């Protein structure tokens, strides 16, 4: 354990198990280069739930891809969650020309890529023989950081351009520093540049955890860090808001320590992010139903300065 981590040790989490990783797994997509991804899972065990982790549109040339987010993906995988990480079309190493009509963000293509993963889980297992037959295709969540949160919000039920992009195979979601409301909540310049931020979150009905940094300073909007919490307030399924204190958009380093996406390396905040999101996943996936409540209690009693959990009244 990192000696810089003190309070976050109190938050309960299972011991890590040995993992196996496969990369690059390649999935064919019509009319374009193949989709490359990484799969990480424990070396033993069956019926592992799946999280598909969607990266952001950050400044690094390589990190926001299948090869990034190791601090988060590896932590989850070592504790029983099979993590699939695609390199999206919007990535600088994704292969698609940013000058194409849908570029450089390719928000529709990103949704298609996530569906391709869902459609080809059997092919993913074929290319990952040590994991074949060990994934639970009935327990699938998506998680997205920043622009990846936009991708996941659509798959979870957010409507854009009066269209429904949801996928019934997805049973839960984690939105990490995801974009908030678009339109008039943005500056006029950004409203014109990012019309696809104008998502209606009211169609998100599956369990969703919203994660924000208390010091996040979004440049898209004149509002503050609360902009990233909009999904929690607007989506019926968003049952919890986790605010990590003292950090911004990188949540202490989930994209990778030393990554350009990480505006502040904070091992304590990163550990809290990892442990609390894992607890929510383990409860939501019924791996350990009491994990989320136990973590809430531990946070409140012994580590309240690290983070705050807000639950939606039912």
pLDDT in tens, 195-218: 999 999 999 999 999 999 999 999
Residue 120's pLDDT is what?
98
Residue 255's pLDDT is what?
85
Comparing 1-10, 103-112, 254-263, which segment has the lowest mean pLDDT? 254-263
Q: H/E/C letters for each residue in the chain?
A: CCCCCCHHHHCCCCCCCCEEEEEEEEECCCCCCCEEEEEEEECCCCCEEEEEEECCCCCCCCCCCCCCCHHHHHHHHCCCCEEEEECCCCCCCCCCCCCCCCCCCCHHHHHHHHHHHHHCHHHHHHCCCCCCCCEEEEEEEEEEECHHHHHHHHHHCCEECCEECCCCCCCEEEEECCCCCCHHHCCHHHHHHCHHHCCEHHHCCCCEEEEEECCCCCCCCCCCHHHHHHHHHHCCCEEEEEEECCCCCCCCCCCCCCCCCCCCCCHHHHHHHHHHHHHHHHHHCCCCCCHHHHHHHHHHHHCCCCEEEEECCC
What percent of the chain is predicted at pLDDT more than 90? 82
* Domain 18-268 top-level CATH class: alpha beta
Residue 262's pLDDT is what?
77
Residue 62's pLDDT is what?
72
Does residue 183 contact residue 198 with C-beta atoms inside 8 Å? yes
145 vs 175: CA distance, rounded Å? 6
Q: What is the pLDDT of residues 128-144, one digit of tens each?
A: 999 999 999 999 999 99
63: pLDDT strictly greater than 80 = no
In which residue are the tokens 């374009």 written? 32
153 vs 17: CA distance, rounded Å? 31
Residue 248's pLDDT is what?
94
Provide the residue ranges of all domains of the chain, joining segments of one domain with +: 18-268
Residue (of 118, 112, 107) closest to 169 by Cα position: 118
Does residue 262 contact residue 32 with C-beta atoms inside 8 Å? no
- Give me the mean pLDDT over the 264-271 stretch: 90
Grade residue 184 by pLDDT with cuts at 50, 70 and 90.
very high
Number of residues assigned to the chain:
314
Q: What is the pLDDT of residues 109-132, one digit of tens each?
A: 999 999 999 999 999 999 999 999
314: pLDDT strictly greater than 70 = no
142 vs 151: CA distance, rounded Å? 9
94: pLDDT strictly greater than 90 = no
Mean pLDDT of the chain: 94
296 vs 23: CA distance, rounded Å? 35
Grade residue 12 by pLDDT with cuts at 50, 70 and 90.
very high
Residue 92's pLDDT is what?
80
Is there a cis peptide before residue 263, judged by omega within 30 degrees of 0? Answer: no
User: Residue 25: left (phi > 0), alpha (psi -120 to 50), or beta?
Assistant: beta
Does residue 28 contact residue 61 with C-beta atoms inside 8 Å? no
pTM higher than 0.85 for the full model? yes
190: pLDDT strictly greater than 80 = yes
- Give me the mean pLDDT over the 254-259 stretch: 80
70 vs 67: CA distance, rounded Å? 7
Q: What is the pLDDT of residues 242-251, one digit of tens each?
A: 999 999 999 9
Comparing 76-90, 91-105, 179-193, 218-232, which segment has the lowest mean pLDDT? 91-105
């Amino acid at each position: 354990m990192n000696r810089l981590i003190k309070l976050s040790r109190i938050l309960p989490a299972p011991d890590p198990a040995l993992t196996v990783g496969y990369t690059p797994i390649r999935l064919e997509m019509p009319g374009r280069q193949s989709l490359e991804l990484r799969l990480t899972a424990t070396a033993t065990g069956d019926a592992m739930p799946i999280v598909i982790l969607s990266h952001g549109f950050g400044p690094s040339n390589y990190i926001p891809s299948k090869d990034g987010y190791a601090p988060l993906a590896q932590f989850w995988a070592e504790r029983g969650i099979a993590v699939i990480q695609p390199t999206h079309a919007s990535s600088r190493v994704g292969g698609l020309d940013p000058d194409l009509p849908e570029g450089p963000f390719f928000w529709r293509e990103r949704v298609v890529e996530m569906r391709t993963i869902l459609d080809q889980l059997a092919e993913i297992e074929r290319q990952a023989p040590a994991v074949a037959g060990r994934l639970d295709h009935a327990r699938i969540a998506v998680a997205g950081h920043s622009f990846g949160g936009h991708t996941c919000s659509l798959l979870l039920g957010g409507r854009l351009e009066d269209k429904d992009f949801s996928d019934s195979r997805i049973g839960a979601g984690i939105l990490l520093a995801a974009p908030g409301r678009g339109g008039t909540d943005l500056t006029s310049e950004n409203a014109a540049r990012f019309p696809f931020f104008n998502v209606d979150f009211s169609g998100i009905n599956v369990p969703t955890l919203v994660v924000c940094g208390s010091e996040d300073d979004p440049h898209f909007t004149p509002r503050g860090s609360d902009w990233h919490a909009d999904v929690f307030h607007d989506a019926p399924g968003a049952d919890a808001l986790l605010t990590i204190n003292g950090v911004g958009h990188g949540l202490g380093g989930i994209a990778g320590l030393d990554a350009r996406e990480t505006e502040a390396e904070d091992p304590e905040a990163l550990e809290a992010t990892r442990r609390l999101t894992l607890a929510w996943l383990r409860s939501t996936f019924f791996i350990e139903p009491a994990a989320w409540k136990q973590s809430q209690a531990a946070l409140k009693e012994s580590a309240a300065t690290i983070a705050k959990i807000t639950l939606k009244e039912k």
